[in-house]
Structure 1
Amino acid sequence: MSKIALVTDSAAYLPLDILEQYNITVVPLMVNFGNDSYREGFDITSDDFYVRLASEKALPTTSQPVVGELVTNFERLLKTHDSVIAVLLSSGLSGTVNSAETAARMVGGDISVIDSKITAWGQAYMVLEAAKLREEGLSKDEIVSRLLQLRDQIGAYFVVDSLEHLHRGGRVSGVSAMLGSLLQVKPVLRVNDGKLEMFEKVRTRKKALARVIELMHEKVGTDGKLHASVVYSDVKADGEAFLAQMQDAFPEAQLELTQLGPVIGTHVGPGLLAVIYAIR
């Protein structure tokens, strides 16, 4: 049986015990406050990030792993494994996939780079599926094929608290951000073909969350099997409350609660609530 190494990046936000259990290598993305740079998941916790974000005037920046770091990891893993599968943050949100593809060409060997076209729990879901399939003894090509099928079943809806971070990141105009603030508009975003895009603008946060539940009902229908995560950024209590609403709406669903980390949090800001789902 061939030995298959699994690689992901920090935007999957997998906890350390899971990484160790399944022997998954994580390549960190960077978040930068001025001259201070931190490896996501290694040098700064999500809670510490949001505390600092609230006190900083300038929006932090983020950066993808450098090609050399990916080369080092691929070379190290191929010394003890026959092949590598890297499941990475959507290429529509980061250049990590492009860097990994460059590194794979430089290293040679049997390396498959998969664009998850998602982030956070959706990306983690694909990584864990790969780990389980590996334990079942599937080949690298079989695992890759299954992951590409799974990718088409994963999606997400995000409700952001403010348009400010989207505006500062170039997602909406300054006029839209100002009007959104005055009118208390809560944008509902979705991930479409790996890119985060505006889906609807809803008056009030309560109505926006209700709209997400409505959209999920449209997705699942009466026969769909839903496995999903309610994702929060900085306020866990809000995540728990929305999780309870989701559990009431989908009593048969398998639901989790997870936190969004610094890199994606930089672009959507505090106060986020989201549903990332897989329909099997």
Structure 2
Amino acid sequence: MPGTVIVTDSTASLSPEVAAAHGIVVVPLQVVIGAQVHDEGSDGATPEMVAGALRDFVPVSTSRPAPARLLEIYEELAAGGAESIVSIHLSGEMSGTFESAQLAAARASVPVIPVDSRQVSAATGFAALAAAEVAAAGGSAEEAAEAARRRAAAAHSYFYVDTLEYLRRGGRIGAAAALLGGALSVKPLLEIREGHVASLERVRTAGRALQRLEDLAVAAAQERPVDVCVAHLASPERAAQLADRLRQRLADQLEGRDIWCTELGAVLGAHVGPGMVAAAVSPRE
């Protein structure tokens, strides 16, 4: 185990294989479906479970990990030899997970640096990977945390939703904005801006929305080396189409790396609903 261990949460879209390969510890958030509480993950709440519940109008909500649970994980890592920990989480504007990390860090027996990525999904995951690379190379916890902050700040996260209703239910947008979108029968394009979900554009068709996601991702990449993730909830055909187009248009910037194409996790999926397609572009240092 390296001197500095990287911790993130299950919304970061890191597969178990990728997390294990980089020594990243992933803490699950919780999903409440009806009256049942599940940890997010393949052995608990899955995207398929959430999409089905939303379609059937079963109540779905999400919950952060308790500070005591994060402290337990920090102490387990310390007992295993960790000298310091960098704990990188989704935007504190949208979840209390970062606050839980701060509270747990104050009680940990080893130094813990909580990092608010001010991002979601793969943009947070790429920040965690940047920190893990610094730690593996012998960098300090402060250097790893700063690498995560820089990578997250440079990232762009764009997404399309079939309806704003699920974001309204979760309190991520106002009722007026959701009502307007439904009344106009538009397809909303959104982005993560300063840690919040922000409206970007409105288009009339799903096809046009996918084209704009493609163009926005290409523009965000510029001429820099980048990592890219395409995510979806119950919309694999649309996601595959977008990923294929981006592989072609960003071949030089990808430098031989593949685009991640994955289904969004249950926690974030609960807030965007079936049909969502997203593109995250993360410039490499």
**Tell me, what secondary structure is at the counterpart of 2:248?**
helix
1:76–1:4 Cα change, 3 Å: same
Structural mapping, 1:215-230, within 5 Å:
215-221=216-222, 223-230=223-230
Match of 1:276 in 2: 280
Amino acid at match of 1:168: R
Q: Residue 119 of structure 2 aligns to a residue in which SS?
A: coil
For 1:265, the equivalent position in structure 2 comes to: 269
Secondary structure class of the residue paired with 1:5: strand
The 1-side partners of 2:175 and 2:105 are apart by 40
Aligned match of 2:107: 106
Structure 1 stretches (4+) deviating beyond 4 angstroms?
171-176
Cα deviation, 1:64-85, whole Å, max 9, x if unaligned, reads 0011101111112122211111
- Given that 2:2 and 2:136 are in contact with CA atoms closer than 8 Å, whether structure 1 keeps it comes out as no
The one-letter code of the counterpart of 1:225 is: P
Q: After superposition, where does 1:52-201 map in structure 2 within 5 Å?
A: 52-55=53-56, 57-79=57-79, 80-172=81-173, 174=175, 176-181=177-182, 183-201=184-202
Q: What is the alpha-carbon distance in structure 1 between the residues aligned to residue 19 and residue 147 of structure 2?
A: 21
2:46 maps to 45
Q: Residues 170 and 147 (structure 1 numbering): CA distance in 2 closer, same or farther, change over 3 Å?
A: closer
TM-score for the superposition, normalised by structure 1? 0.91
CA distance in 2, matches of 1:90, 1:179: 26
Q: How far apart in 2 are the matches of 1:65 and 1:239?
A: 29
Q: Is the 8 A contact 2:231 2:278 kept in 1?
A: yes
Q: Measure, in 2, the Cα distance between the counterparts of 1:174 and 1:111.
A: 38
Aligned residues: 278
The 3-state SS of whatever aligns with 1:92 is coil
Distance in 2 (CA, whole Å) between partners of 1:64 and 1:176 is: 26
Q: Which amino acid aligns with 2:100?
A: S
Q: Is 1:157–1:274's contact at 8 Å kept on the other side of the alignment?
A: yes
Larger CA deviation: 21-30 vs 257-266: 21-30
In the alignment, what sits opposite 1:6? 6
AA in 2 matched with 1:73: I
Write the distance in 1 (CA, Å) between the matches of 2:71 and 2:7. Answer: 12
Gaps of 5+ in 2: none
Instruction: State the SS of the aligned residue for 1:106.
Output: coil
Could you say what the CA RMSD is over the residues aligned between the two structures, in angstroms?
2.1
Residue 34 of structure 2 is matched in structure 1 by 34
Contact 2:227-2:281 within 8 A present in 1 as well = yes
1:252 has 2:226 as partner: no
The 3-state SS of whatever aligns with 1:107 is coil
Provide the rounded CA distance (Å) in 2 between the counterparts of 1:22 and 1:171: 32
Quick one: structure 1 residues 70 and 171, their matched pair in 2 at CA, closer, same or farther if it must change by over 3 Å? closer
Structure 2 length-normalised TM? 0.89
Task: Output the CA distance in 2 between the equivalents of 1:92 and 1:253.
Answer: 31
Please say if residues 65 and 99 of structure 1, whose CA atoms lie closer than 8 Å, have aligned partners that are also in contact. Answer: yes
Q: Give how far 1:176 is off.
A: 4.8
Q: Which amino acid is the alignment partner of residue 17 of structure 1?
A: E
